[in-house]
Chain A
């Protein structure tokens, strides 16, 4: 092989070059980011569950048709363009050349398969409500998808920014149960290994259609206890932690190796009046009085360390349908007492109410409930709290058994008012403890109104009814606090998503 002197020269040149290149590559160490949420993802199957920590892993392994940028605007992702071609038909054009990790091409057949898998009642997927406006999926060609809806819709159906697209061929070959531990996605990070409750390892997908992500490896390591999470960040055992309780903020902001990132959450917290149950809360005067009695800015400042944004409506500001014309109930204890007197409870006499709240479900839920009960009691009424752990609470919520007041949070990532305003206030809705036919008519009409101006007008009227009738004590929109190490460059998202492809590490 090396008889001729020229080839020997070439061979040694090649070897030298190869060794130098190898040394150079080896000198740049692989970058790894460690992320600690409160719970481990429950499954690698992206079509089953809606719980955020699990979704946060899916969104790194799978692609979706569309994505939201940090400001909440929809941007093309797997779909390069989309259009409502008929009142009940939405058409998406798919990007070409996208491949799953095993090389299978991503086509409209995969989109159809994913949506139908979620819709299938036998699968029992929690994501079914997201696609329940879609009647069927049509695939006229491999790069075009059509969502056909039951009724004309004003908004894009099917939550195309959260529905993961899976490899239909792989799924059919291996079956459902296999997906729980062996995912096959097209996303920026490839699944490597998973030791449950301990560590989930992902590697960057060098062939990702959007370009190779900056960070080479991602590790998800769950730490349930908040104090332990903060400690792990401080010792450097992890780079990003979620759900930081407000009292740790100063410590992490001032830490040598740590900092705080925050984002306006889509989650809104409120205290609802069960107006379907007997009691003083059926009187709108009492409800308005309580709205005046609660000092929301003080709550936000002391209990949440300032990390929340007061809302006058159930819909947060960056949602379609939000109205900035709705006023706040400014804290006014005298006004509250006056209203109560008009309602027949001078100085709150005779008013004994229970405020129900969950424990450990929402940031500082128990503490907020206690504080609110305290503020309400300043009117002279006797308000006590009744707290219980989440699943018992959910049971009672579903039976509408929580009365007369109950605290709840609502985190909706549709960026549209419809879901919130119907699920929580429409008379027929499962969770609603409010019944107002005039209101029902408005939101129903708004749901199918395609003209944006008319739609907003309908929502303005609906929100005004809610303000005046006060079925809620309106509280605030959370600000999510994340702790990160100083070397991590990342801005938090409103939908609580942790997209590792949006992160990079300083050196």
Chain B
């Protein structure tokens, strides 16, 4: 068990290191930040001065070493755009993104799991088909499209909800639905599939033969065995949600980290991009680690790979 644990930890660090290298290389591949940051009418001399002030004229390996060393201390430098510490800028926005992502996830789970269970139990019925079609629509509608439609219908026409910004719970509704639609659809299909597996298993057939009532059968016996892959998927979906949030945050003017990241990438604001990517990768790695370890703790077979 401890060997497994150790391998996973080492692997996690490996991933972070890998991400750091990739983000550094990719950023420098995408062009010269000095040219992008300075206004069009700047002279070569002014651009060179900016480049020197930011240290972009040092040899690449020196820049990487400095980035890695400082990064380990949590220092990603000052944002080229804002002039403030990059990591601070990223961390400031995490609460807003977390609020949105968790709301979307909660919505998804509350809708998807019961729907998936029902669809599995009533397999082949029109209810099942309806649920599957709705789920497929949820998976095939682009996020920005859904967002704008919701704004137009529920915000402008009906006036039920505010259309932008962060505020009370009413500001959360439309963005959460937009962000959560895709996840709801996925989770519903997953729950349905998982439940189908369990419902046809020997274990359940035995229980049914023993005369256990239908409702208890479903909720108590079936779901208890089906929940593990569902929970795993939820953990992984969290990671996807955070990256999908970029478009939702833009549409709804939500002050989250997705919007910061997108703007920073467009600006070639190296320090902020690096900070956000590393932060995101660290969360992703931590979540996966937690999920892996939980899985291993609950299912002994996995430990002995």
Q: Mark A198-239, 1 if CB is under 8 A from B, else 0.
A: 110000000000000000000001111101100110110100
A262 at the interface (CB under 8 A from B): no
Q: Are B84 and A181 in touch, CB under 8 angstroms?
A: yes
Q: Are A225 and B266 in touch, CB under 8 angstroms?
A: no
Q: Mark A392-403, 1 if CB is under 8 A from B, else 0.
A: 101101100000
- Given the interface pairs A48-B83, A177-B84, A392-B31, the reply to whether A231 lies near B165 with Cβ below 8 Å is no
Contacting residue for B36 out of A45, A124, A394, A412, CB 8 A: A394
Smallest CB gap from B46: residue in A = A128
Q: Once bound together, how far apart are the Cα atoms of A156 and B26, in whole Å?
A: 44
Smallest CB gap from A51: residue in B = B39
Q: Are B163 and A180 in touch, CB under 8 angstroms?
A: no
B244 at the interface (CB under 8 A from A): no
Q: Are B40 and A397 in touch, CB under 8 angstroms?
A: yes
| Min CB–CB distance A375 → chain B (angstroms) | 26
Q: Are B82 and A43 in touch, CB under 8 angstroms?
A: yes
Smallest CB gap from A197: residue in B = B255
| Min CB–CB distance B191 → chain A (angstroms) | 33
A430 at the interface (CB under 8 A from B): yes
Q: Mark B159-182, 1 if CB is under 8 A from A, else 0.
A: 100111110000000000000000
B260 at the interface (CB under 8 A from A): yes
Q: Once bound together, how far apart are the Cα atoms of A199 and B164, in whole Å?
A: 12
- Given the interface pairs A129-B39, A237-B162, A391-B31, the reply to whether A228 lies near B252 with Cβ below 8 Å is yes
B53 at the interface (CB under 8 A from A): yes
Residues of A within 8 A of B44 (CB): 430
Q: Are B250 and A224 in touch, CB under 8 angstroms?
A: yes
Q: Are B83 and A177 in touch, CB under 8 angstroms?
A: yes
Q: Which of B148-156, B209-217, B218-226 contacts A (4 or more CB under 8 A)?
A: B148-156
Q: Which of B122-162 contact A (CB under 8 A)?
A: 144, 148, 151-152, 155-156, 159, 162
| Min CB–CB distance B297 → chain A (angstroms) | 40
A378 at the interface (CB under 8 A from B): no
Q: Are B266 and A390 in touch, CB under 8 angstroms?
A: yes
Q: Once bound together, how far apart are the Cα atoms of A36 and B42, in whole Å?
A: 29
| Min CB–CB distance B35 → chain A (angstroms) | 4
- Given the interface pairs A225-B251, A232-B163, A390-B266, the reply to whether A431 lies near B40 with Cβ below 8 Å is yes
Residues of B within 8 A of A395 (CB): 31-32, 35-36
B295 at the interface (CB under 8 A from A): no
Q: Are B81 and A129 in touch, CB under 8 angstroms?
A: no
Q: Once bound together, how far apart are the Cα atoms of A36 and B164, in whole Å?
A: 11
Q: Once bound together, how far apart are the Cα atoms of A196 and B252, in whole Å?
A: 15
Q: Which of B40-94 contact A (CB under 8 A)?
A: 40-44, 46, 49-50, 53-54, 78, 81-84, 89, 92-93
Q: Are B266 and A198 in touch, CB under 8 angstroms?
A: no
Q: Are A231 and B151 in touch, CB under 8 angstroms?
A: yes
A195 at the interface (CB under 8 A from B): yes
Q: Are A231 and B156 in touch, CB under 8 angstroms?
A: yes
Q: Are A180 and B84 in touch, CB under 8 angstroms?
A: yes
Q: Once bound together, how far apart are the Cα atoms of A176 and B82, in whole Å?
A: 12
Q: Mark B2-42, 1 if CB is under 8 A from A, else 0.
A: 00000000000000000000000000001110011111111
Residues of B within 8 A of A237 (CB): 162-165
B259 at the interface (CB under 8 A from A): yes
Residues of B within 8 A of A391 (CB): 30-31, 36, 266-268
- Given the interface pairs A129-B42, A232-B163, A430-B44, the reply to whether A196 lies near B255 with Cβ below 8 Å is yes
Residues of A within 8 A of B50 (CB): 124
| Min CB–CB distance B167 → chain A (angstroms) | 9
A193 at the interface (CB under 8 A from B): no
Q: Are A222 and B253 in touch, CB under 8 angstroms?
A: yes
A121 at the interface (CB under 8 A from B): yes
Q: Mark B76-114, 1 if CB is under 8 A from A, else 0.
A: 001001111000010011001000000000000000000
Q: Are B166 and A235 in touch, CB under 8 angstroms?
A: no
Q: Are B148 and A227 in touch, CB under 8 angstroms?
A: yes
Q: Once bound together, how far apart are the Cα atoms of A235 and B40, in whole Å?
A: 37
Smallest CB gap from B54: residue in A = A124
Q: Mark A22-52, 1 if CB is under 8 A from B, else 0.
A: 0000000000000010010011010011100
| Min CB–CB distance A236 → chain B (angstroms) | 9
- Given the interface pairs A45-B83, A391-B267, the reply to whether A197 lies near B155 with Cβ below 8 Å is no
| Min CB–CB distance B241 → chain A (angstroms) | 19
| Min CB–CB distance B244 → chain A (angstroms) | 16
A69 at the interface (CB under 8 A from B): no
Q: Are A129 and B255 in touch, CB under 8 angstroms?
A: no
| Min CB–CB distance B59 → chain A (angstroms) | 21
- Given the interface pairs A232-B164, A235-B156, A390-B266, the reply to whether A224 lies near B38 with Cβ below 8 Å is no
Contacting residue for B255 out of A181, A198, A412, CB 8 A: A198
- Given the interface pairs A227-B151, A431-B41, the reply to whether A235 lies near B163 with Cβ below 8 Å is yes
Q: Are B165 and A199 in touch, CB under 8 angstroms?
A: yes
A419 at the interface (CB under 8 A from B): yes
Q: Are A231 and B163 in touch, CB under 8 angstroms?
A: yes
Q: Are A42 and B41 in touch, CB under 8 angstroms?
A: no
B232 at the interface (CB under 8 A from A): no
B263 at the interface (CB under 8 A from A): yes
A423 at the interface (CB under 8 A from B): yes
A389 at the interface (CB under 8 A from B): yes
Residues of B within 8 A of A123 (CB): 53
- Given the interface pairs A180-B82, A198-B165, A237-B164, the reply to whether A224 lies near B49 with Cβ below 8 Å is no
Q: Are A389 and B93 in touch, CB under 8 angstroms?
A: no
Q: Are B39 and A50 in touch, CB under 8 angstroms?
A: yes
| Min CB–CB distance A166 → chain B (angstroms) | 15
- Given the interface pairs A124-B50, A129-B43, the reply to whether A197 lies near B260 with Cβ below 8 Å is yes
20 A-B Cβ contacts within 8 A?
Answer: A36-B164, A42-B83, A43-B81, A50-B39, A121-B49, A123-B53, A124-B50, A177-B84, A180-B84, A196-B93, A196-B255, A198-B96, A199-B165, A391-B30, A395-B36, A397-B40, A410-B40, A412-B41, A430-B43, A430-B44
- Known contacts A176-B83, A197-B93, A389-B266, then 18 further A-B pairs from the complex at CB < 8 Å, ordered by chain A residue: A121-B49, A129-B39, A132-B46, A181-B84, A195-B255, A223-B253, A224-B250, A224-B251, A224-B253, A225-B148, A228-B252, A231-B156, A231-B164, A232-B253, A391-B36, A392-B31, A395-B36, A419-B41
> 3 tightest CB-CB pairs across the interface, nearest first?
A197-B255, A395-B31, A198-B255
